[in-house]
Amino acid sequence: MKLTGFKVLAFDVYGTLIDWESGMVTALKPLTDKVSQNLTRDDILEAHAYHESTTQRWTPNKKYFDLLAVVYRRLAEEWGVEVTWEECQAYGLSVRQWPAFDDSREALAYLKQHYKLVVLTNTVNGGAILGHGSGGIVRSRAA
């Protein structure tokens, strides 16, 4: 099967184009700086993955921004840190600032010359990286 046989390429944004792990760790810094124990990057990401998947299981239709706010609250509880709901919400909105991988924009610009690009996302702004003239955005029901 040749790539040239396709007219449309569809892919997920977070983890493929957006470095969501670095984005999460950076956005969690206000919380992790308050934790008394030393947390490694893997500790943070594993705890986040647990709380995110658990929250998604119980509230599958929750918007991703709102889900992340709950994850922040659960992480704070696990690590014994008091936080405000405003801090939780700020973390939820931080997804907008999570960085693209260094080669994402250049690669997309190249691919857009040859294919219609479609992103799959559960966020409201998941297609922003495609820019104008993109093929489309397919959002999950929780976007």
Q: What are the phi and psi torsion angles at 9 (to 5°)?
A: -115, 130
Encoded tokens for 89: 């919400």
The continuous run of DSSP H or E covering 121 comes out as strand 116-121
- Coil, strand or helix at 39: coil
Q: What is the mean pLDDT of residues 39-63?
A: 95
Q: What are the phi and psi torsion angles at 38 (to 5°)?
A: -80, 125
Using CA atoms, how far residue 84 sits from 10, 50, 95, 132, in Å, is: 38, 21, 18, 37
Is the Cβ–Cβ distance between 122 and 139 less than 8 Å? yes
Q: E strands within 15-139?
A: 116-121, 136-139
Encoded tokens for 46: 């594993």
Q: What was the pLDDT predicted at 18?
A: 86
Decide if 103 is catalytic: no
Question: pLDDT of 76-129, one tens digit each?
Answer: 999 999 999 999 999 999 988 999 899 988 888 888 888 888 877 666 554 454
Give the range among 11-15, 26-30, 35-39 with minimum mean pLDDT.
11-15
Residue among 95, 106, 44 nearest 66 (CA): 95
Q: What was the pLDDT predicted at 104?
A: 86
Using CA atoms, how far residue 27 sits from 48, 79, 90, 107, in Å, is: 12, 16, 9, 26
